[in-house]
Amino acid sequence: MEALTNLRCLYLGKNMIHGIAGLDTLTQLESLDLSDNDIHCVEGLDALQRLKFLSLAGQTKMLSVTALTHTHTKQTCMHTLC
C-alpha cells in the first residue's frame, strides 16, 4: 500500500475481509468503504487525518471500533457505522 499514498477513495466492500491493517500509509484517504465484510474490530486508522467517510455497514459481528481518536473524523464518520 505504500505506493498508493495519494489514494483518496478506497472501496473494499463485499470482499470477505476479517481485519484491516496497513492503511496508515494512505494519509490522503478521504473515503473508506469496508461495508459488507466480516470485520470484528477496527483499529489503526488514526493516521488517516483526512478521512471524511467511513462505512462499516453490514458487518456481521462488529465488536469494537477503537480506530478513530481525532475528533473531526469521529464526528463525520461515526454515523455510518449502522
Write the pLDDT tens digit of every residue in 16-34: 998 888 888 999 999 999 9
| DSSP 3-state of 73 | helix
Grid coordinates belonging to 15: 470482499
Q: Name the CATH architecture for the domain at 2-80.
A: Alpha-Beta Horseshoe (3.80)
**Structure-model confidence comparison of residues 38 and 80, the more confident one:** 38
Write down the mean pLDDT value for the chain. 80
Residue ranges per structural domain of the chain: 2-80
Quick check: 60 pLDDT over 80?
Answer: no
**Structure-model confidence comparison of residues 13 and 76, the more confident one:** 13
Return the DSSP state at 23.
G
Give phi and psi for 23, each to the nearest 5. Answer: -90, -5
Helix, strand, coil distribution of the chain in percent, nearest 5: 20, 15, 65
